[in-house]
Structure 1
Amino acid sequence: MRGGNKMREMTAEEVAQAAKNNKDVSIIDVREDEEVAEGMIPGARHIPLGQVPDRLDELDKDKEHIMVCRSGARSGRAGSFLKKEGYDVINMSGGMLEWKDEVQK
């Protein structure tokens, strides 16, 4: 993989700061319904991984999107797909397992 092709990453802590400092931050949670029911990042949008290709019209290409899942693997896959489609994406490394801030249920 070429260096320029690598997806940018942020830690859960960096995402928490970004969410606090920028009300317009776009966070996409690609976990399944039962996982999200346990709590997700306040303000995040839930689009299960399998639905991402069908819901591209919900995502603004002019915005940066932070992808989230349980551990960072599925969000990485979703992010790679979106990047190929021309979206500006960042993967939250470590996923919700690393999330220390509050969640909404």
Structure 2
Amino acid sequence: MQDFIKNVIPSEMNNMSIEIDEFIELYNEGKCELVDVRVPMETKVWQVNFGLKIPAPELPERLDELPKDKLIVVACPKADRSNMARTWLAAQGYEVKYLSGGLLGLMDALKGGMAKKIKI
């Protein structure tokens, strides 16, 4: 917890998120895992067919599903829930960032022919 508190300072704030292009690069290299923290009702409306689907309220019971050897990138439609999930996971000792632009931004970046940018 002490390390977590030390990292919650303004100069470290930019290390809490990851840009979409950097996420795609790390994901393609197998260095990070996407965790979709939306609730089931949301994932029924539109799918992201890669990454882990663990609703934010279920994170405490499902920590064993998260890889310890990769950066965890949490995402929701924008960034509100994912940043809260990031904060909680960081307090549990995970290397974690939230996806800047959220899943909506990611889907926008991957629409049409751009979908070939990510390896799934």
TM-score by length of 2: 0.72
3-state SS, counterpart of residue 90 of structure 1: strand
Instruction: Give the corresponding residue for 1:30.
Output: 37
Instruction: Give the corresponding residue for 1:74.
Output: 81
In 2: Cα distance, 1:4 partner to 1:84 partner: 18
Instruction: Please tell me whether Structure 1 or Structure 2 has the larger radius of gyration of its CA atoms.
Output: 2
Whose helix proportion is higher, 1 or 2?
2
The number of residues matched between the two structures is 101
In 1: Cα distance, 2:25 partner to 2:89 partner: 24
Instruction: Give the corresponding residue for 1:51.
Output: 58
Q: Could you report, residue by residue, the CA deviation over 1:3-36 in whole angstroms, capped at 9, with x for unpaired residues? A: 366352112232223223x135311110111322
Q: How much does 1:54 deviate?
A: 1.1
3-state SS, counterpart of residue 27 of structure 1: strand
In 2: Cα distance, 1:89 partner to 1:51 partner: 17
8 Å Cα contact 1:61-1:86 kept in structure 2: no
Q: Could you report, residue by residue, the CA deviation over 1:64-85 in whole angstroms, capped at 9, with x for unpaired residues? A: 1011111011010001000001
The verdict on how the C-alpha distance between 1:13 and 1:81 changes in structure 2, with shifts beyond 3 A counting, is same
The verdict on how the C-alpha distance between 1:23 and 1:43 changes in structure 2, with shifts beyond 3 A counting, is farther
Gapped regions of structure 1 (runs ≥ 5)? none
3-state SS, counterpart of residue 62 of structure 2: helix
In 1: Cα distance, 2:98 partner to 2:20 partner: 10
| Higher relative contact order, structure no. (Cα contacts within 8 Å, ≥ 6 residues apart) | 1
Q: Could you report, residue by residue, the CA deviation over 1:50-74 in whole angstroms, capped at 9, with x for unpaired residues? A: 1011111222333210111110110
RMSD of the alignment, in Å? 2.2
Instruction: Give the corresponding residue for 1:17.
Output: 25
